[in-house]
Amino acid sequence: MVLKMQEDPRRRFIWSEISFFSKWWDNISAQKRAVVRRLVGNGQLEMVTGGWVMPDEANSHYFAMIDQLIEGHQWLEKNIGVTPRSGWAVDPFGHSSTMPYLLKRSNLTGMLIQRVHYAIKKHFAATQNLEFMWRQTWDTDSSTDIFCHMMPFYSYDVPHTCGPDPKICCQFDFKRLPGGRINCPWKVPPRAITDANVAERAQLLLDQYRKKSRLYRSKVLLVPLGDDFRYDKPQEWDAQFLNYQRIFDFLNSQPNLHVQAQFGTLSDYFDALYKKVGIVPGMKPPGFPVLSGDFFSYADREDHYWTGYYTSRPFYKSLDRVLEAHLRGAEILFSLALAHARRAGADGTYPLSDYALLSNARRNLGLFQHHDAITGTAKEAVAIDYGVRLLHSLMNLKHIIINAAHYLVLGDKDTYHHDPAAPFLSTDDTRPSQDSLPERTVVKVDISPRFLVVFNPLEQERLSVVRVLVNSPHVRVLSEEGQPLPAQLSAHWGSDTDTVPGIYQVSVLARLPALGLRVLQLHKSFEGHATPQSSVRLYLPGLNLPMRRQEPVPVHVLPAGTEDICLENQHLRACFSGRSGLLQSIRRAGEEREQRVSSEFLVYGTRASKDKSGAYLFLPDGEAKPYAPNDLPVVRVTEGPLFSEVTSYYQHVQTVVRLYNVPGVEGLSLDVSCLVDIRDQINMELALRFSTDIESEDTFFTDLNGFQIQPRRYQQKLPLQANFYPMPTMAYIQDAQSRLTLHTAQALGVSSLGSGQLEVILDRRLIQDDNRGLGQGLKDNKRTCNRFRILLERRTTTSQSSSFFSALASMFKALGFPGARTGSPEVQDGRPVSFPSLLSHITSMYLNAEALVMPVAQEKPAPPALRSFTPLSSTLPCDFHILNLRMLQAEQDESLPSAEAALILHRKGFDCSLEAKNLGFNCTTSQGKLALGSLFQGLELGSVQPTSLTLMYPLGTASNSTNIHLDPMEIATFRIRLG
């Protein structure tokens, strides 16, 4: 590239993913780097989007989408001194409206997308709406608008970019000249351009250009010229550039053709378009449409819906989110520990080398957001490589958290000594290999107390049940001051019927400070001080007589039950089938009737003839059939003062539904986990369906990237697989009375195929390739744990105005207007919008950011005095989320942190119409106002500079005022100095 671009200043090239580019950059000479900077500076080479990768937009979480964008932009700023202007996303399988928001807030002015359902492309082309201003559904003015260009045809390769006829366009992909490795499937090869044929060839190509141009509103036309795995040989550069230049020279020499043709970058195209319409780049061109919403789900032909990859390889989709939670926790704790150490003048003893590990974890998480990584559509060997990188970074992040926690909990900071060979704290769990589930650390209890440090990565104080494995049933838990804490002792189960000898679980109720560290003590207990034990009933199919097993935790063994099993706390009562062990109903406290919430496992097969499901596509053989295991399940019921749970063991899935007997958030929803193992199956997809009496009709709601909610409608006229959507963090159904939300800790595919239903695909094992480029089936399934929360909320309509509106709504309903039904989304400016409740947002955070329990490693002698660490001096408003507190790299040495950090805040939009009793929050909302200056206890905020999302542009001047304001849904980045 560097050589070929210099041969002719008219040549242009675009590059998008920085992860690969940075690898190349690390291995080139200073002279070559200078040439690259010159090519970028003179506009020949453009960096488009500039993220670490071109991310998947369905399964990726907005934390990771932003993080990889920052990582790429920071790299570009530091190494090349350039800020991207235009977004390029030709390969993600469907497009999320979160992306235009993030690009707009990063100061990009235009963007391009390609993989959109062929019927939508056809409709947009027919109405000349392929270029539009993309606006967020909640936006009341136009502050989120960004100009978007949608490519009109099947693919982004050369046969599908010059015009509507691929047989002709392929003749202008000069890599396919006869004698090369690839040819044109339409059987007409390209011909090299000569003086003799240029007029005829140019006319043929121009005819395609004109036909394509009619689909757009402006007279400026974009014709991308590339494909996967291209421009890697000098011969191809020559073939493409020289032949096209001959065509352009001819076209430009014929005034009667009324055409000017040239090479250009993506921003050259947007600039030319804006110049033509005569307005500032980024503004809305007159007469162009405004669009809101997303582009899921994607189909490229027939009924081939790309809805399988919403679940493909769920093990890694789950590991992705575990790594993300650890990265956020490590970023924040490292920033706080470093700021406190610097303030104490102790940064000489603090392990600054952790910053390089942090940087590497950002890049590994960023890499995994790629549209062939988190999607589950990479080759098996590549998936393993991703897994190894994710695991390696996860272990490093645990150590960064340990080092920071060690410094922050020491009563006397002067005694801090970092010894990499002997960490002060042990990790909460370990993973033997990249594809194994975590194994929790067992703490040895002794006469002298063992100390635990518990990290709460949430920006709100939480009252949570913290679980620890210990080697003795004689244990009690005390606060750091020596006060006994409520606890519950239970057996540690190794299988459906057997406990693990010598290992017990102690669960303790602890109040954890926001973003802070709480110190707890474990003591060996003696008679009279024992921790209350769980009681266990084990229902065995085929057993005739009840038995009682005398273990340290007694177990009552009973024949398989026919009676319902019910668990209850102060907020709700959940009942289960005694036979199947599966959830049947939920009743909220203070309500007479139960709400049916029955769960069942279902199985999808794939088609018998021609096209079958694979890593990308979901092509089921009809509706799901009930999962019919060989044996009845073993059902185990555990009850105790802090939590009760029902566990059912089936052949391919083990499910646990737990109810916490705790006031506040933890006790207001059901905790559900499904351990899935379908490795002995062929072409089988396992689904979990919840059926309720909620009259949701054909409407349901799914989140986009954990950032916003998109209302969905079940389309009966479309095939079943078309009605599945991504669910990165939640999905819900509702009617006038109730809303049922399924929260998830990993991205999976979801749908509502009938009124009152929600179903999620847990795992898929498919033997064949589905012909979309992978060349393999999905046969590397793992034992995978999928985690959920089920939240049932009551919708309230209390105010006077709402009764007026409901009267209006019923009038519209009588007139037959669609969308006036109670299960439907609210409508704002003709756009459907919906938001989770505050409780729902916080429940999602509890599920996705678990408290980390780290035992103090040394048993004897007693460790130095430890003190809990409470970083925030005041409670953050309930609707503010600290997305990240990210130390920026030093100017000279990218492996070291600078004195500055990026503070990224998100103010969540929420629905106030859901009942908010007994939530147990100690936070309130503040109309979007926040005083940053006094937020961090014991630290001063040196400066606060509002910037664009990825810190490339300052917004306004850095002021002395540290009071900020955010509108609902907005994400804002501040460059700050803590110390």
Query: What are phi and psi for residue 418, nearest 5 degrees?
Result: -90, 120
Q: Are the beta carbons of 456 and 516 closer than 8 angstroms?
A: yes
How far is Cα 145 from Cα 134, in angstroms, rounded to an integer? Answer: 5
Question: Which one, of 282, 232, 323, lies nearest residue 849 by Cα?
Answer: 323
Tokens at 345, concatenated:
């003048």
Question: Which one, of 760, 745, 626, lies nearest residue 689 by Cα?
Answer: 760
How far is Cα 416 from Cα 671, in angstroms, rounded to an integer? Answer: 39
- Beta-carbon contacts of residue 64 (< 8 Å; ≥ 6 apart): 55, 320, 324, 365, 366, 368, 369
Among 26, 56, 67, 91, the one annotated catalytic: 91
Q: How many residues does the chain have?
A: 979
Question: Which one, of 151, 259, 128, lies nearest residue 205 by Cα?
Answer: 259
Scored b (16 or more CB within 10 A) or e, 793-817 reads bbbeeeeeeeeeeeeebeeeeeeee
Q: Are the beta carbons of 454 and 507 closer than 8 angstroms?
A: no
How far is Cα 942 from Cα 5, in angstroms, rounded to an integer? Answer: 45
Question: Which one, of 915, 913, 751, lies nearest residue 825 by Cα?
Answer: 913
How far is Cα 48 from Cα 265, in angstroms, rounded to an integer? Answer: 9
How far is Cα 279 from Cα 271, in angstroms, rounded to an integer? Answer: 10
Q: Region of 127 please: left (phi>0), alpha (psi -120 to 50) or beta.
A: alpha
How far is Cα 653 from Cα 768, in angstroms, rounded to an integer? Answer: 23
Tokens at 753, concatenated:
């195929």
Question: Which one, of 177, 198, 197, lies nearest residue 247 by Cα?
Answer: 198
Tokens at 469, concatenated:
């494995």
CA 19 distance to own-chain centroid: 19
How far is Cα 709 from Cα 269, in angstroms, rounded to an integer? Answer: 33
SS3 call for 64: helix
For residue 94, count CB atoms less than 10 angstroms from its CB and return exposed for 0-12, middle for 13-18, buried for 19 or more: buried
Query: What are phi and psi for residue 652, nearest 5 degrees?
Result: -115, -5
Parallel/antiparallel/unpaired status of strands 462-470 and 442-443: parallel
Q: Any idea what DSSP says for residue 600? A: E
Question: Which one, of 586, 547, 594, 548, lies nearest residue 569 by Cα?
Answer: 586
Q: Are the beta carbons of 852 and 428 closer than 8 angstroms?
A: yes
How far is Cα 657 from Cα 677, in angstroms, rounded to an integer? Answer: 18
Query: What are phi and psi for residue 456, nearest 5 degrees?
Result: -105, 105
Which residue's entry shows tokens 């005041």? 874
Question: Which one, of 618, 633, 651, 534, lies nearest residue 576 by Cα?
Answer: 633
Q: Is 680 a catalytic residue?
A: no
Q: Are the beta carbons of 314 and 780 closer than 8 angstroms?
A: no
CA 950 distance to own-chain centroid: 18
What do you get for the CA distance between the two ends of the chain, in Å? Answer: 45
Q: Are the beta carbons of 849 and 436 closer than 8 angstroms?
A: no
Question: Which one, of 419, 427, 200, 196, lies nearest residue 329 by Cα?
Answer: 427
Parallel/antiparallel/unpaired status of strands 535-540 and 555-559: parallel
Reduced DSSP (H G I as helix, E B as strand, rest coil) percent helix, strand, coil of the chain, to 5:
25, 30, 45
Instruction: Tell me which residues are annotated as active site.
Output: 91
